[in-house]
Amino acid sequence: MNSLTELERPIETDYLNCIRCGLCLAVCPTYRESYKEASSPRGRVALARKGLDGELELSPNLYEQMYGCFACMACNDICPVGIKPAELSLAMRHVQEQKEPSGWKKTLFENLIPHPWRMEAATWPLRIYQNLGIRRLVYALGLMRIMPSQLRDMEAMLPRLPQRPLRQVLPTVTPAKGETKRKVGFFLGCAQSLLFAEESAATVRVLSRNGCEVTTPDEVVCCGMPAHGYGRLDLVREHAKHNIAVFEKSDLETVVTDCATCGSTLKEYGEYLKDDPEWAERAEKFSSKVRDISEYLTEIPLEKPKGRVEARVTYHDPCHLRRAQKVWKQPREILNLIDGLEFVELPESDWCCGSAGSQLITHYETSLQVLARKMDNLAGTKAQIVASGCPGCQMQLNTGIQKHGLGVRVVHPITLLDEAYKE
């Protein structure tokens, strides 16, 4: 399939109305580091327009500019005429995958990521690396110093892994502590199950403590965002249909997630499936039930914890939470509910940290440059803890903190709430 007319592609209104005002340049993390027009939202819109109109070859170099976008959505918010350059970059990646499918993406996004047990097997060596003490030995012997810098930084991303993925140990139904006041579903994301199991276990405990019976189906698959980021919109729709059908089996008032990326994707299922007669209404109904954990907890009567957490804490806004879901006040409200916490705002808290899923791997230098500014701001707060509700952000922050020697603890806000409840 080579003709653009046969492809699912952006429509003219997605790119034609750009007035080239340049407001997007001021908020774009990649442009701020390179000052290259092609690496700006305005530049990417111009490239997409010329490529789609046949004035420019849809070349690997053009697509590389689309993959250079961090999809942080700052440009979407500031555009005065409603152009969404971040979404356009993702749409152009989808065009490429329809024209020139990549074999490695098929292997990754069809054969590995949608299968939880395969993902668990793939991360088994990492658990061995940690749980047998190999990681501790590597650091004790100073072996990381002789590793290539990118490999060293990627290793630093790893949190403390659970001995077993949470999907294997979390009950399907967790009863409410005391009277059952609400029945909610919990969408357990891939990263949360494999890497941040204790955080999601804390989320379930907090929900249970606040009168929620929590249903956590273990048949769910990836939300779809990784596939979307690499142009496989077809797989996003497949994942959406599967996950919707799974949650339809239970009579649930709300579907809660503690992953900003998962939440933003689940809330978009209605948009992804709007043209599918069989699924459009079901998808819209499902998406209307989805809430981020901090969003949900501030909607219900939330028990104030009696314990204290003595620490100076700041907060980094995940792009998929603040911009995609418009959730930013709620995590701060939860942190301010905890006695003993001294909350201090992080300058440029809503600026991308440089993670964008896999940018530390695919666009290493740019990712580090964006991260360095975040670390400068973090150091200025003198915080002992930085909270953030996205596993990708947390991993990126871990890398920056270790690289810059800051000694700051990285947590999910709900982890601190759970700790205060335990006191």
Give me 98's structure tokens: 């329809």
Residue 251 DSSP code: -
Whole-number Å distance between alpha carbons of 264 and 280: 18
What element of type H or E holds 309? strand 308-315
Strands 182-186 and 254-257: parallel
- What is the rounded average pLDDT for all residues in the chain? 95
Which is more confidently placed, 7 or 325?
325
Task: Assess contact for 308 and 340: CB atoms under 8 A.
Answer: yes
Rg (CA), the chain: 21
The alpha helices in 276-363, defined as continuous H runs, are 280-289, 293-297, 319-322, 329-336, 359-362
User: How far, in Å, CA of 63 to CA of 366, rounded?
Assistant: 17
For residue 155, pLDDT beyond 60: yes
What backbone torsions phi and psi does residue 386 show, to the nearest 5 degrees?
-120, 125
- Output the CA angle 353-231-103, nearest 5 degrees: 115
For 19-57, the pLDDT digits (tens) are 999 999 999 999 999 999 999 999 999 999 999 999 999
In 298-313, which positions are buried (b, 16+ CB within 10 angstroms) versus exposed (e)? bebebeebeeebebeb
- Helix or strand holding residue 311 (H, E): strand 308-315
pLDDT category at 2 given cuts 50, 70, 90 is: low
8 A C-beta contact, residue 346 and residue 386: yes
Task: Inform me whether the pLDDT recorded for 7 exceeds 80.
Answer: yes
What does the alpha-carbon distance between residue 214 and residue 171 come to, in Å, rounded to a whole number? Answer: 9
Q: Does residue 366 carry a pLDDT above 50?
A: yes
Which of these, 35, 52, 41, lies nearest to 77 by C-alpha position? 41
Q: What is the pLDDT of residue 5?
A: 76
- Cα–Cα dist 354/347, whole Å: 16
As a whole number of angstroms, the distance between CA 367 and CA 30 comes to: 9
Which of the four pLDDT bands, split at 50, 70 and 90, describes residue 6? Answer: confident
Torsion angle defined by CA atoms of residues 112, 113, 116 and 119, in that order, rounded to the nearest 10 degrees: 60
User: Structural domains in the chain?
Assistant: 4-99 (1.10.1060.10), 105-156 (no CATH), 166-297 (1.20.1050.140), 308-422 (3.40.50)
pLDDT at 1: 46
pLDDT score for 307: 96
Whether the pLDDT of residue 193 is over 80: the answer is yes
The predicted structure's pLDDT at residue 397 = 98
User: What are the start-end ranges of the E strands in 109-266?
Assistant: 173-174, 182-186, 212-215, 254-257
Q: Is the pLDDT of residue 423 over 80?
A: no
Residue 269 reports pLDDT greater than 60 = yes
The residue with tokens 């808290």 is: 349
Least confident of 1-5, 75-79, 130-134, 342-346: 1-5
Q: What DSSP letter does each residue of 365-419 carry, written as one string?
A: HHHHHHHHHHHHHHHHHT-SEEE-S-HHHHHHHHHHHHHHT---EEE-HHHHHHH
Q: pLDDT tens digit string along 210-243?
A: 999 999 999 999 999 999 999 999 999 999 999 9
